[in-house]
Chains A and B, each alone.
Chain A
Amino acid sequence: MVKWIGFRMLRTAIAVWAIASVVFLLSRQDTARAEQLALPDATDLSGYAVGTPVARQAAREAVRQRLGLNLPLFYISRAAGKWYWNGLQNQYHHWLRRAVQGDFGQSFRTSQPVTEALLAALPYSLPLTGTALLLAAGAALAMGQRLAARPRWQQPVRTILAALQALPLFVVALILLLAFANPEMLAWFPAYGLTQSVDVELSVWSRTSTYLMHMALPVIALALTALPELALQLDAALTEELRTDYATTARAKGLAEGVVIRRHALRNALLPTLTQLAELLPALVGGAVVVEVVFALPGMGRLLTEAAAARDYPVLVGGVLLAGTARLLALLLADLLYFWADPRIRWPS
């Protein structure tokens, strides 16, 4: 079991390294745009002799030196029809060595360390995805059980869930934004401005309430998109399990339908849902990108999209690595949950 988990984690870790390497290498192919964006404006350099070609060349060289772009990209390179061996003094080797030590370089745009930027974004993203995941899983658990008991509202709720599943996340988020954070409709929640209001000197209580008010709609939007898949899957699995012989036996013993579901069928029906839970956490990381842009939260997603727009490659690669880490954690979580839910895995024959 431990060996199996270790093997899966190792495979995923290798996959994350491969993806991050590919993004790193591809991004550094064309660094002209990044250089342009990192160059100081001519107006900022009033003290220097700006404008002369020599000075511009010097400024560009300085930027390349600062960003580490003056080194060759990879161990081998090809120029004018010939292959060259560059040795260990290359960008990829430096990046890999520092990344292993936990240093992902500095942002091209702000010169802030990438780790710092990611850590500053996590207090928004982590509660957002975590709460949404818990909320969706809890609601799906409750709803799946009730749906499988065949109440009168089974069909309409199934239809609503299927329709909700069809909507892209940004549409759900926009509908929530326009309905509940819109002065024209209902202005119950603030639409933006979390960063400004937090650093004002306020009591802890009012600061917490501001934070919660800002997080409410994003969490609901994320949970609403995660819910249908989980609930429908659990519902289908439970319906399947309730047709089996052991469920009939349990009913014949005189157990109520709810008890049959809770004590007998639920644990068997949970297994496919657990697989989905492992898929869901990375999907929520992707979804957080959309939600954070719509609700203007300064989290991971906004960091990533801004980095993408500004060609801030170190931040981008750091974000990809972080998303991969989320995937690793999700796999571990799913394996542990399997371990808990299925005794056949716990005691292999």
Chain B
Amino acid sequence: MALLNSTFISWSQKLAIAWLSFVVLIAILATTLPLPYLPGFPDLAHVAAPPFGASNHWLGTDPQGRDVLSVLIFGARTTVLLTLPAAVLSAILGALLGGAAGFWGNSIRLAVPYWLVAVAGGWWVLRLPMSLLAFVIAIVGVCSVVAAWLRKQIWPAWPVPIDAVVMGVATTLDTIPRLVLVVAMAAVSDVSLPSLLALLTLTTWPHSARLVRAQMLRVRALPFVEAARAAGIPAAQVWFVHALPHALQPLRTALPLSIAGLLGLESTLSFLGIGLPPDVASWGRLLATVRDDPSAWWVFVFPVSCLIITIVSLNSISRRRLAFSNHPPR
């Protein structure tokens, strides 16, 4: 836990960490909490009941009779289940792709036998016609790999433009605003929790890939990477073991901000009624119901405060990372 005790943490950041742990804890325990009402079962006898009233709804009910407190708790569960994995997955994907793009650039070359094996593999995966030909190509590829290994033979090598491909895909994904892209894709695919997770991950990774790539361009020129190369360590090991951990530095700041951005995106989607199916509780969907009954302030105030406090906490945590990423960890 070097992250938590290495430097001074201001009280607001302690509060932020406390709130975020509370939200995650609530999300984990949501199904076991002794709630008087479940979010999926509207109480039609008390529609839009004010909070702290005679009915047993502590925070009132929304215009469709759902208990605000339980929607808040299960909404936190949805949020945590969606944004946390999406942020982590997109950070990992972006780190690997951006790290590879920054480390090797367009210069990596792959010997022809490996190209043959890759072509044969692709042929087999796509199940193109004439599978016998693919088999022959694969045999030739494997034989030449073995030959090269046994007789120290040098095959011609063709370049693999990793940098161009990764950055091209990232630029393509960045062309369309994320919200429009997600709205379009959500309409195309049937939306469920896993598919929305995949969608968010796919549209979020370019940012972390850019950050890691930029840092990697700096790191790969540092003396210790050169020393590792000079020691004869294979390039893949230099990349993964020596260079990549240092190139991940910008993600410590970017990860909380990315979670905050995903939180905003997810609640916007459910607010628009596009994200998750209507029976999944979420803060955005609860907020959308206030338009049916503008006098029901409690439907608006409670989820909005949850949302704002969470986003502000995430921002303040990212500032802490920024503050001590300047000096090296002890």
Contacts and interface: CB of A to CB of B under 8 A. Distances in A.
Chains A and B belong together in one complex: yes
A183 B297 CA distance: 13
A290 interface: yes
A311 interface: yes
Interface stretch (A8-16, A65-73, A214-222, A236-244): A8-16
Nearest to B296: A184
Nearest to A284: B177
Contacts of B184: 23, 304, 308, 316-317, 319-320
A168 B307 CA distance: 9
Interface residues of B, number: 42
Contacts of B308: 166-167, 171
A282 B268 CA distance: 17
Nearest to A304: B183
Contact of A167 (B181, B287, B290, B311): B311
Contacts of B171: 11-12, 15
A293 B267 CA distance: 14
Nearest to A14: B172
Contacts of B273: 305, 309
B295 A16 contact: no
Interface in A58-116: 78, 81-83
Interface in B283-321: 284, 287, 290-291, 294-295, 297, 300, 304, 307-308, 311-312, 315
A166 B311 contact: yes
B272 A285 contact: no
Interface size band for A: 35 or more
B271 interface: yes
A194 interface: no
A73 to B, nearest CB: 13
If over half of B's interface residues share one DSSP class (helix, strand or loop), that class is named, otherwise mixed; here it is helix
B295 A286 contact: no
Interface in B256-283: 260, 264, 267-268, 271-274
Interface string A224-255: 00000000000000000000000000000000
A320 B311 contact: no
B268 A169 contact: yes
B165 interface: no
Nearest to A296: B291
B189 interface: yes
Given A26-B188, A308-B187, A19 B181 contact: yes
A320 to B, nearest CB: 5
A82 B307 contact: no
B187 A166 contact: no
A322 B166 CA distance: 25
Given A168-B267, A170-B268, A174-B290, A16 B311 contact: no
Given A12-B175, A26-B185, A289-B183, 16 more contacts: A15-B175, A19-B172, A29-B188, A78-B127, A83-B129, A163-B312, A166-B315, A170-B267, A174-B287, A283-B177, A286-B179, A304-B183, A305-B273, A309-B187, A309-B274, A324-B175
